[in-house]
Structure 1
Amino acid sequence: MTVLTNLVKIEGFFRERINRFLCHVEIQGKNNLAYLPNPGRLWELLLPGTPLLLTTSRFKGKYPYTVFAARKNASWVILDTQMTNLIIEELLLEKRIPFLKDYTLKGKEVKLLKSRFDLLLSDGRKDLLLEIKTCTLFGSRLSMFPDAPSERGRRHLLELSELGGMCLFVVMNPESEYFLPAYHVDPVFTSTFLEVKDRVIFKAISLGFDEALEKVISVKELKIPLEVLYKAFKPSGVYLLLLELKTDKKISVGTLGEILFDKGFYVYVGSAIRNLYQRLKRHEKHKKRIRWHIDYLREYADHLRIIPILTPEKIECELAQNLKTLAQSIIPHFGSSDCNCKSHLFYFEKSPLNSNDFINLLNFYRLEKPLELIAH
């Protein structure tokens, strides 16, 4: 594949993310700045020490390198969203996407309404707008998009529903079998997906690459099991509340009395049978009427992230037990007065978002458990 073989790739390692589009990488033992051409969270990919492939930067004189791909398990995952478009163009030319084999490229970056759409195709009788989304969030068999809330993605769906067209999700994992909108991550995008599904053509493919990342060796269409959304996409489930204390702090916690909280990170496990999103908004506030144990800590701790897991199952205590095995310590009886768990609050010296074990646990509930809801 020309677009890949002509690319000079440089090996390196991920160190830390500075902001959405900039990170520190290590190349030949030296720290460097690199541009990251992907606005997603990429939690499961950009962990400290992750092998990377980089290219010399397209921003001459500003950042020396651009992150091209990250290693996950035995495969390279392309992160450069512009490269995905170039790969799809070549696959179209080679007639390797079965449901698009009758189409040829007519235009790029087509501006319509308030958006630019990636490609304009034609089969000689009619045109087809094609919007391409790079999907890097996947488990063993299920992939999802987006991995962070995407208002731009939502707008594309709405405008495609007016204009008519196709949204193609390109999954960078040859083992994937299924694709779904990321209902845990972006409920607004998911609602829009369901709203326009009869007016937009949704397709998903997975790509497999050779070890040198020079050839696309497999192209596979994925199934979109909407029955999972009908069963699980409701404002009900569990959530992880990530907090940080910048200093040691003694805090009076209701009937638990005064507790010394060490400087560091805390993960609280909670649930809501209904009105999940209202519960999450309440946790975002520093000051509120004290109702639960977590409210006492929330007054003093910085809010890092709320991570919902939408599920029809009652898994709060199961999740707490699994988190206990990862944490440095627990705060006894915190948040667990109505169950038999020793605690629902867990202490981590360092951010759990940089822990492979924590991310794997999160992805088990978000990407593996939903497979049980797929009709066979």
Structure 2
Amino acid sequence: MKFANLRKGLVVRRLNRFVVEARDEAGRMFPLHLANSGRLRELIVPGRELRYEPCDGDPCRKTAGRLQLLRNEAGLWVCIDAVIPNAVVGEALGDGALEAFRDYPEVRREHTMGDSRLDFFLSNGGQHAAIEVKSVTLVESGVALFPDAPTERGLKHLHELARLCSEGLRAAVIFLIQREDALRFTPNDRTQPEFRAKLREVRKLGVQVLAYDCRVTEREIRLRQPVPVEL
């Protein structure tokens, strides 16, 4: 996925859950929409370099734009927009870059099935697969961690995947790490220990648990390679 018209800035502070105050090279201050409810404490640091997409419409009509990238302490770009992972996975599915799902030519996004709204619903004749995608931004000492903040919604999604699996569908959760410095992925016990227990439970019931990292530059973000999952 390519970024368009990203502009430069520096972090000033996080004003609230969905707004970050930034300043440009001339010292002008402006608010940016943050499409991520995680804590992001290691990334939203005063003085850190950022990139944002200017916008005029919802949901950032009251801000100067939408925050997309932040540099981490090692100088690598991290994509912090939690909406982008679906676009990256969708692009990878269309390009055949996700080897585990190459046999499914039909891809539907945001598909409703009963009480479940799936990020992706794949078909191959009479075979079907359901995929949920989770955004991962937190990496500590090479270990990608999710969630960054407690997520009841994430637990519900795992429950739904297990239910679909019990009904004969192939089901998977993909943790998309929006940076390229992760050596492995594991659930974040410090934030929500029950998430690991639920993930182990649904894997035993047949849900696939996958993780991939991304190549992130100022121009684009692309799925890079699978990352080992440790539960």
Shift of 1:196: 1.4
Supply the distance in 2 between the matched residues of 1:127 and 1:89 (Cα, whole angstroms): 16
1:151 aligns with 2:157: no
Question: What's the CA shift string for 1:60-91, capped at 9, x where partnerless?
Answer: 63222111111112321111121221111111
Give 1:21's aligned residue.
Answer: 18
Which of 192, 199, 203 in structure 2 is aligned with 1:197? 203
Aligned residues: 221
Give 2:66's aligned residue.
Answer: 66
Give 1:223's aligned residue.
Answer: 228
Distance 1:48 1:114, change over 3 A: farther
1:214 aligns with 2:220: yes
Give 1:366's aligned residue.
Answer: none
Question: What's the CA shift string for 1:102-148, capped at 9, x where partnerless?
Answer: 22343111234554221111233411111100100112321111100
Larger Rg: 1
- Where structure 2 has 5 or more consecutive residues not aligned to the other structure, the ranges are 166-170
Which of 2, 5, 8 in structure 2 is aligned with 1:4? 2
Question: What's the CA shift string for 1:303-345, capped at 9, x where partnerless?
Answer: xxxxxxxxxxxxxxxxxxxxxxxxxxxxxxxxxxxxxxxxxxx
Q: Percent identity?
A: 28
**C-alpha root-mean-square deviation of aligned residues, in Å?**
1.8
- Where structure 1 has 5 or more consecutive residues not aligned to the other structure, the ranges are 227-376
Higher strand share: 2
SS of aligned partner of 1:175: coil
Conserved? CA contact 2:79–2:179, under 8 Å: no
Distance 1:12 1:65, change over 3 A: same
Supply the distance in 1 between the matched residues of 2:24 and 2:115 (Cα, whole angstroms): 40
Supply the distance in 1 between the matched residues of 2:19 and 2:218 (Cα, whole angstroms): 25
Give 1:138's aligned residue.
Answer: 139
Supply the distance in 1 between the matched residues of 2:53 and 2:155 (Cα, whole angstroms): 31
Which of 36, 50, 53 in structure 1 is aligned with 2:51? 53
Supply the distance in 1 between the matched residues of 2:66 and 2:116 (Cα, whole angstroms): 26
Supply the distance in 2 between the matched residues of 1:80 and 1:157 (Cα, whole angstroms): 22
1:168 aligns with 2:165: no
Supply the distance in 1 between the matched residues of 2:221 and 2:153 (Cα, whole angstroms): 30
Conserved? CA contact 1:92–1:100, under 8 Å: yes
Higher helix share: 1
Distance 1:215 1:222, change over 3 A: closer
Distance 1:25 1:113, change over 3 A: farther
SS of aligned partner of 1:224: coil
Q: Which has the higher contact order (CA 8 A, sep 6+)?
A: 2
Supply the distance in 1 between the matched residues of 2:29 and 2:105 (Cα, whole angstroms): 44
Conserved? CA contact 1:151–1:189, under 8 Å: no
* Letter in structure 2 aligned against 1:15: V
SS of aligned partner of 1:197: helix
Give 1:178's aligned residue.
Answer: 184
Q: TM-score, normalised by structure 1?
A: 0.56
Conserved? CA contact 2:106–2:124, under 8 Å: no
Q: TM-score, normalised by structure 2?
A: 0.88
Supply the distance in 1 between the matched residues of 2:120 and 2:89 (Cα, whole angstroms): 10
Question: What's the CA shift string for 1:233-264, capped at 9, x where partnerless?
Answer: xxxxxxxxxxxxxxxxxxxxxxxxxxxxxxxx
Distance 1:213 1:74, change over 3 A: farther
Conserved? CA contact 1:12–1:53, under 8 Å: yes
